[in-house]
């Protein structure tokens, strides 16, 4: 028996402003105030595979980082106890120590694990890892900030 997701795609769409083709989180499996585990199902239908690369499709590393940043944004909203509205936005403001360890191809399920390391003055710092099965595909430290724009 499988456990239901903490957030399905409909709930994610209410929390993140991203839409196709840049929404890169399909489901949240677990989340508490400090960690999140989310999924990105990688399919051959992704628009970037047309050119990256036609002879051997590989998910661009920058999109793996974006998927991790979107999972981090979901965690930041949860940690702040706030929700997306017309006046709030989370900006991606930094990446440190990004490393790519394995290619991600169509058919892979990218598991996004993000931990909130600290939050101070509206700046959030996360440790993030994307894996396929037991293999790490990408890891980095990410920073974001939540701002009111209205």
Q: Which of 10, 43, 40, 44 is nearest to 26 (CA)?
A: 40
- Give the C-alpha distances (Å, rounded to integers) separating 31 from 26, 44, 94, 130, 144: 14, 28, 23, 16, 18
Domain boundaries, the chain: 9-148
Which pTM value belongs to this model? 0.94
User: What is the full per-residue pLDDT of the chain (150 aa) written as tens digits?
Assistant: 566 789 999 999 998 989 999 999 999 999 998 999 999 999 999 999 999 999 999 999 999 999 999 999 999 988 877 666 777 788 899 999 999 999 999 999 999 999 999 999 889 999 999 999 999 999 999 999 988 887
Of 10, 18, 52, 55, which one is the catalytic site residue? 52
How long is the chain?
A: 150
- The β-bridge partners of 145 are 91, 123
Superfamily of domain 9-148: Hotdog Thioesterase (3.10.129.10)
52 given a catalytic annotation: yes
C-alpha triplet 147, 130, 90: angle, nearest 5°: 5
């Amino acid at each position: 028996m499988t456990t239901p997701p903490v957030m399905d795609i409909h709930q994610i769409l209410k929390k993140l402003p991203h839409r196709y083709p840049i929404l890169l989180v399909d489901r949240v499996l677990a989340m508490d105030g400090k960690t999140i585990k989310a999924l990105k199902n990688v399919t051959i239908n992704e628009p970037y595979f047309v050119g990256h690369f036609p002879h051997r499709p590989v998910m661009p590393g920058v999109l793996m980082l974006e998927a991790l940043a979107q999972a981090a944004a979901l965690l930041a909203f949860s940690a702040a106890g706030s929700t997306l509205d017309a006046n709030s936005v989370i900006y991606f403001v930094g990446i440190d120590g990004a490393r790519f360890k394995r290619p991600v191809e169509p058919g892979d399920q990218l598991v996004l694990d993000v931990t909130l390391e600290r939050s101070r003055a509206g700046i959030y710092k996360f440790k993030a890892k994307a894996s396929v099965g037991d293999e790490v595909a990408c890891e980095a430290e990410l920073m974001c900030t939540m701002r009111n724009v209205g």
